[in-house]
Amino acid sequence: MNSEELAWKIRRHGIEMTHLSGGSHIGAVLSVADIIAVLYTDILNYDAKNPRWEERDRMILSKGHAGAALYAALAECGFFSVEELKTHYADGSRLSGHVSHCIPGVDLSTGSLGHGLSVAAGMAYTLKKDRRKERVFAVLGDGECDEGSVWEAALFANHFRLNNLIAIIDRNYMQSMDFQENTLEMKDFGAKWKGFGWNVIEIDGNNHRQLKRAFQKAEEYRNSETHKPTIIIANTVKGYGVSFMENNILWHYRFPHDGWEYDCAVNELHQSIPPGVEDIYTPKGIEKPIFPTEQDNINSDYTFTYTWNTTYPERMRRVEAVGDSNKRKYTQQRKEE
Ligand SMILES: Cc1ncc(C[n+]2csc(CCOP(=O)(O)OP(=O)(O)O)c2C)c(N)n1
Ligand SMILES: [Mg+2]
């Protein structure tokens, strides 16, 4: 399986998993899908049959709310069955919404933002001290870098010359409620990391060729005399691959509901399905899709996101009710199976 095929599958699983569960963060999943796909097809050393293999590269998805992307990649790469993905977020499932280390292939539970880089730096420190060749990769969100602990880890990694540490920032310029610059100004992100002593590589993070070249460059840096840690600033589009989700903060928390949201998302993905890839959920896409009507302004603010205003409690209840009925539908289905 090549990286483009895996990225498509991550996106398709992500749509299905959030649709079935009424779970969140599809925008974050679509944003990071290419980074995760390239890591698992071309970069990381791992053994899916022996997830705790000592010589594996360590990998931490610090933006743990995009767990569905990691779970999809792990399942597709043989760590556990693809069938299990359907249990994501369901009661009793081990595939929790945020990443859990109970899952084969996961090195660290994440979800509380701001901790992944610190743990990655600790792992890299120990591996380096023991003169081991394994590398440590950490994938962070850009909004996550509002957390002070990220910058403490950045200082630590430079101080101890952790050239075996490679961080990747999913730089989509958005966080949960707004654009990053409106939340905490970040301006020249690369200059900040450079100032903290890191090698900085900046690329288009939805472009596989650029991602692969960036990892190659990171490897050159690792073997160079500088002994600095490396950061890849991967400029991405939140919601990438589904036009009405792209750059729309609504889709940080909203899930693709029954009807046009699910149908149009699936059919848009089908327009770019790589040859030979099978969609296990809807092999031919949605044959009679529902389209948005004039009443459905697809860019409208119709959940609690975007404007945190006085109507919030009422709106919140409405969203929860939809989410619950979706969950009930799924639980019922599971019982019947
Ligand atoms: C410590 C902490 N605070 C708040 C949250 C709630 N939260 C979940 S996702 C998110 C936004 C993250 O933005 P970013 O890191 O840019 O990730 P993206 O979804 O854009 O990829 C927030 C604030 C959290 N998970 N952890
Ligand atoms: Mg972001």
Extract the tokens encoding 9: 């599958």
Task: Give the residue, by CA position, lying nearest to ligand 1 atom 17.
Answer: 141
The pLDDT of residue 31: 98
Grouping H, G, I as helix, E, B as strand and the rest as coil, residue 56 is coil
Atom of ligand 1 nearest to the CA of 145: 15
* Local mean pLDDT, 10-residue blocks, the chain (337 residues): 98 95 92 98 98 98 98 98 92 90 96 98 98 98 98 98 98 91 91 98 97 98 94 96 90 88 95 96 95 67 38 34 37 41
The pLDDT of residue 40: 98
Q: Environment class of residue 139 by beta-carbon count within 10 Å: exposed (0-12), middle (13-18) or buried (19+)? A: buried
Extract the tokens encoding 297: 């302004």
Strands 165-171 and 230-235: parallel
The pLDDT of residue 320: 38
The pLDDT of residue 294: 66
| pTM assigned to the model | 0.90
The pLDDT of residue 177: 84
- Work out whether the CA dihedral 131, 135, 140, 145 comes out positive or negative: positive
The pLDDT of residue 195: 98
User: 170: part of which helix (H) or strand (E)?
Assistant: strand 165-171
The pLDDT of residue 296: 67
CB contact at 8 A, 227 and 163 = yes
Strand partners, 58: 136
Atom of ligand 1 nearest to the CA of 147: 1
Task: Give the residue, by CA position, lying nearest to ligand 1 atom 23.
Answer: 176
The pLDDT of residue 250: 86
Domains and CATH numbers, the chain: 3-235 (3.40.50.970)
Grouping H, G, I as helix, E, B as strand and the rest as coil, residue 51 is coil
Q: Taking CB atoms and a 6 Å cutoff, what residues make up the pocket around ligand 1?
A: 28, 31, 63, 65, 111-114, 141-144, 170, 172, 174-176, 238, 252
The pLDDT of residue 297: 59
Q: How far is CA 283 from the centre of its chain?
A: 24
Atom of ligand 1 nearest to the CA of 27: 19
Task: Give the residue, by CA position, lying nearest to ligand 1 atom 21.
Answer: 28
